[in-house]
A and B are shown apart, each in its own frame.
Chain A
Amino acid sequence: MSEHAAGEARSAAAFAALLDRAGLLDLDAGDRAFLRAAFDRTASPLPIPEGFDELQRPMTASAGLQDGSPS
Chain B
Amino acid sequence: MIEDMLRSVAACARQIRAGGISSVELTAAALDRIGSSDARLNAFLSVDAESALAAARACDADIGRGEWRGPLHGVPYALKDIIDVAGQRTSCHSRIRMDHIARADAEVVSRLRQAGAILIGKTALHEFATGGPSFDLPWPPARNPWDPNIHPGGSSSGSAVAVAAGMVPLALGTDTAGSVRHPATVCGIVGIKPTYDAISLAGTFPLSYSLDCMGLLTHGVLDSAVTLAPLLTAEAARRIRRTSDPMAPFPGLEDGLGGLRIGVIEAFQPESEIDPEIGAATAEAIRALQHAGARVRPLRLSPLAVYTECGKTILQSEAYSIHAAWLRARHAEYGRRGRRRLAAGLTIPVERYIRAQQVRAHLIREYAAAMQSFDVAVCASSLAFACRIDDEATVDRTYDRQARTPFNVLGTPAISIPIGVGKAGLPMALQIAGRPYDEPTLLRAARGLEQALGLSLTPPCAASR
Spell out A's residues near B (CB within 8 Å): 15, 18-19, 22-24, 26-27, 30-31, 34-35, 38-39, 41-42, 46-53, 56-62, 64-70
Contact = CB atoms under 8 A, between A and B. Distances in A.
A58 B302 contact: no
B40 interface: no
Interface stretch (B81-89, B114-122, B282-290, B355-363): B355-363
Contacts of A69: 365, 368
Contacts of B359: 46, 48-49, 52, 56
Which 10 A/B pairs are nearest by Cβ-Cβ distance? A68-B368, A65-B411, A58-B357, A23-B328, A49-B302, A39-B347, A66-B436, A38-B344, A56-B358, A70-B361
Contact of A47 (B309, B339, B340, B357): B309
Contacts of B255: none
Interface in B359-387: 359-369
Interface residues of B, number: 48
A35 B347 contact: yes
A42 B349 contact: yes
Contacts of A42: 347-349, 352
Interface of B: 195-197, 210, 239, 302-303, 305-306, 309-310, 313, 316, 324, 327-329, 331, 336, 339-340, 343-344, 346-349, 352, 354-369, 410-411, 436-437
B361 A35 contact: no
A46 B310 contact: yes
7 contacts: A30-B336, A41-B347, A46-B313, A49-B306, A65-B364, A66-B196, A67-B368
A27 B113 CA distance: 44
Given A42-B352, A65-B197, A50 B364 contact: no
B339 A31 contact: yes
Contacts of A50: 302
Given A49-B366, A62-B411, A24 B346 contact: yes
B366 to A, nearest CB: 7
A35 B343 contact: yes
A24 B357 contact: no
B210 to A, nearest CB: 6
B357 A59 contact: yes
Nearest to B436: A66
A58 B358 contact: yes
A53 B344 contact: no
B243 to A, nearest CB: 22
B364 A59 contact: yes
Nearest to B356: A46
A62 B347 contact: no
B98 to A, nearest CB: 22
B196 A64 contact: no
B328 A24 contact: yes
A59 B363 CA distance: 10
A49 B358 CA distance: 11
A68 B412 CA distance: 9
Nearest to A15: B347
A52 B195 contact: no
Contacts of B410: 65
Given A56-B358, A59-B364, A47 B305 contact: yes
